[in-house]
């Protein structure tokens, strides 16, 4: 339990260090004053936004169901770059809800992700870095296999994933093209809800029961793997005011079914209307053999095995960068 806050604490300390990166200039002839350090090795980027989509019907002859959806999102970057060292940090948060006539409020998006990469290169001309990378990913609230809202199929920190490894990373100066290769990456899967752990959710070892269904040993709340990780990031303005962003992660465990690859691919197309209004088209594909799909069959929740997860998003909203 003590290890859980480390990624978030790590990010808070980073913000605090950057906030105080200023010079205090004092001379005999002038009073003390504070000036910003224009030569600071820190670069910060913040972006928050809210997307909304709505459709309403009143006495509409063709029929239809009124609905409204909202998505709150944020992306916060802190990058340290000096001489041969580069330290990139990124916090991503997204949370979305949907409401339809006659149907309860439902979750459409739930992401809490932190990424950090510390790299060293031998000379300032090279784009290749010896890199240590950390990735932490979980969610804010419970997840359900709708329409069943009685049983949670996921919860905060159930699951939570931590990737920690060493490798080589190719990074352009603007950080819009990244390729990371790591032959030594540890993947830690945490399921900190005992009910889900007892079910063996997300690949952890499930509970043991006797023939009378009496509990012998509770399920484990974590699983540790060691494998090969490849991640890629590509961002490019393909046409005027249209930006394409790709994120790809491929992971395979050396011990458990090596060659069986976990896939996480995220594609976003951003169309800029003006400085504050933007349209987003997104496609997210996930495949993980340890994630068993659940379906509601005749009112009963049934585990049916791993499936490719697909999510498509279209939204128009307001974005503020600072």
- The model's pLDDT over 93-138, given as tens digits with 9 standing for 90+, comes to 999 999 998 888 999 999 999 999 999 999 988 999 999 999 999 9
Q: What is the pLDDT of residue 29?
A: 42
Task: Give per-residue pLDDT as tens, 139-179.
Answer: 999 999 888 888 899 999 999 999 999 999 999 988 899 99
- pTM of the entire predicted model: 0.82
What pLDDT, on a 0 to 100 scale, did the predictor assign at position 62?
Answer: 80
As a whole number, mean pLDDT of residues 209-226 equals 94
Here the tokens at position 101 are 């006539």
Contact of 57 with 64, CB cutoff 8 Å: yes
Report the number of distinct structural domains present in the chain. 1
Please give the mean pLDDT across all residues of the chain. Answer: 87
Record the tokens describing residue 167, joined without a space. Answer: 């490798």
**Is there a domain that residue 102 lies in?**
yes
- Among residues 78, 80, 150, the alpha carbon closest in space to that of 115 is found at 78
The band of 19, judged by pLDDT with boundaries at 50, 70 and 90, is very low
- Band of residue 53 on the pLDDT scale cut at 50, 70, 90: confident
Give the per-residue pLDDT at 315: 87
**Please, which contacts does 221-224 make with residues 24 or more away whose CB atoms are closer than 8 Å?**
221/190, 221/191, 221/192, 221/194, 221/197, 222/188, 222/189, 222/190, 222/191, 223/188, 223/189, 223/290, 224/186, 224/187, 224/188, 224/189
Residue 1 within any structural domain of the chain = no
Q: Is the pLDDT of residue 252 over 90?
A: yes
Owning domain of residue 178: 6-321
Is residue 25 assigned to a domain? yes
64 has a pLDDT exceeding 80: yes
- Kindly state whether residue 235 falls inside one of the protein's structural domains: yes
> Taking 50 as the threshold, does the pLDDT of residue 271 lie above it?
yes
Domain presence at residue 149: yes
- Tell me if 242 is assigned to some domain: yes
pLDDT value at residue 173 = 87
User: What digits encode the pLDDT tens for the residues 25-48?
Assistant: 333 344 444 454 557 899 999 999
Report whether pLDDT(15) > 70: no
The answer to whether residue 208 is domain-embedded is: yes
Q: Which two tokens stand for residue 125?
A: 């001309």
Provide the CATH number for the domain around residue 131.
2.40.230
């Amino acid at each position: 339990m003590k290890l859980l806050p480390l990624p978030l604490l790590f990010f808070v300390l980073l913000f605090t260090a950057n906030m105080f990166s200023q010079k205090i200039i004092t001379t005999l002839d002038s009073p003390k004053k504070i000036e910003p350090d224009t030569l600071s090795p820190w670069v910060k980027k913040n972006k928050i936004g809210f997307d909304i989509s709505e459709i309403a019907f009143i006495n509409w002859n063709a029929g239809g169901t009124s609905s409204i959806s909202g998505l709150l999102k944020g992306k916060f970057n802190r990058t340290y770059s000096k001489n041969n060292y580069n330290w990139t940090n990124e916090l991503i948060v997204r949370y979305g809800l949907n409401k339809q006539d006659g149907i309860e409020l439902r979750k459409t998006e739930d992401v809490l992700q932190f990424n950090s990469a510390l790299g060293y290169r031998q000379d300032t001309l090279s784009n290749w870095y010896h890199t240590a990378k950390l990735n932490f990913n979980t969610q804010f609230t419970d997840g359900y296999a709708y329409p069943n809202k009685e049983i949670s199929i996921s919860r905060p920190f159930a699951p939570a994933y931590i990737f920690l490894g060493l490798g080589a990373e190719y990074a352009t100066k603007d950080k819009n093209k990244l390729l990371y290769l790591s032959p030594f990456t540890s993947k830690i899967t945490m399921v900190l809800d005992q009910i889900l752990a007892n079910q063996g959710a997300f690949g952890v070892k499930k509970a043991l029961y006797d023939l009378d269904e009496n509990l012998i040993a509770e399920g484990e709340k974590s699983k540790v793997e060691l494998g090969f990780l490849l991640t890629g990031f590509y961002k490019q303005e393909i046409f005027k005011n249209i930006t394409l962003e790709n994120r790809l992660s491929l992971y395979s465990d050396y011990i458990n079914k090596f060659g069986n690859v976990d896939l996480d691919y995220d594609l976003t197309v951003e169309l800029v209307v003006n400085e504050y209004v933007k349209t987003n088209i997104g496609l997210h594909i996930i495949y993980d053999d340890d994630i068993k799909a659940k379906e509601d069959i005749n009112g009963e929740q049934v585990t049916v095995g791993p499936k490719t997860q697909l999510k498509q998003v279209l939204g128009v909203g307001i974005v503020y960068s600072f």
